[in-house]
Amino acid sequence: MQVKKIVVIGPESTGKSTLSEALAESLQTVWVPEYARGYLEKRHGTYDEADLLQIAKGQLALEDNLFKKASKTLICDTDLYVIKVWSEHKYGRCHQWILDQIASRKYDLYLLTDIDFDWQDDPLREHPSAEMRQYFHKIYRDIVINSGVPYALISSTPEERLKAALQAINALP
C-alpha cells in the first residue's frame, strides 16, 4: 500500500495546523506537526540563519518517523518550501542542503491555505500585516503552481476547508 503524502502550506496564521489535525482525524491517520514551533518555543522565539538548517532536519526526521505510522495518508503541516521562503525572506538565501531536500522529496498534493482567516496573535509569528500576508500567499501560490504537484486552494470556514481538503485528497489517483 502506497501512503499518500499531503502538505498543508500557506502563510502564517491561515489555519494550517487546525486543518492538518482535522484531516488526520477524518482520515484516521497521523499528521506531522510543524517542528519549528517546538524548536522556537524552547528558544523563546529567537533564531538565526543556522537554526533554519536544524529546523529543516528536525522537520524531515519527524516526517520520516511519522510516515511509518501513517495509514494510507500522511498529513504534513508544512514542508521545506516554508523554510526556504522564510530563509530567503529574512537572510536573502537558503542553505543548499534544504534546496537539495526540496528537489528530492516527493509529495502527492498541496493544500494551499488562503488568507481569509483572521490573524491570531502569537509570539512566534512575524508578519501580521495584510500586505505581508498577501505577499507570502503569492509566493506559496507560485510554489505550488510551479511544483508540478496537484494542489487545491483551501478557504472559507473551518468546516468548508475540511470538506474541500477531503475532496481534493479523495480525487487523487
pLDDT at 117: 75
pLDDT digits (tens, 9 = 90+) for 98-121: 999 999 999 999 999 999 977 565
Helix (H) or strand (E) holding 74: strand 73-76
Over residues 20-45, mean pLDDT: 94
| Whether 152 contacts 109, CB under 8 Å | yes
* Side-chain-side CA neighbours of residue 68 (13 Å): 5
Burial tier of 121 (Cβ tally within 10 Å: 0-12, 13-18, 19+)? exposed
Cell numbers for 119, please give them: 490573524
Q: Following CA atoms 79, 90, 58, 166 in sequence, which dihedral angle do they give, to the nearest 10 degrees? A: -20
pLDDT at 122: 52
Residue 169 DSSP label: H
* CATH superfamily placement of domain 4-170: P-loop containing nucleotide triphosphate hydrolases (3.40.50.300)
Over residues 69-76, mean pLDDT: 96
Q: How confident is the model at residue 157 (pLDDT cuts 50, 70, 90)?
A: very high
pLDDT at 31: 98
In the three-class reduction of DSSP (H, G, I as helix; E, B as strand; rest coil), residue 4 is classed as strand
pLDDT digits (tens, 9 = 90+) for 40-67: 889 888 899 999 999 999 999 999 999 9
Rg of the Cα trace of the chain? 15
pTM: 0.94
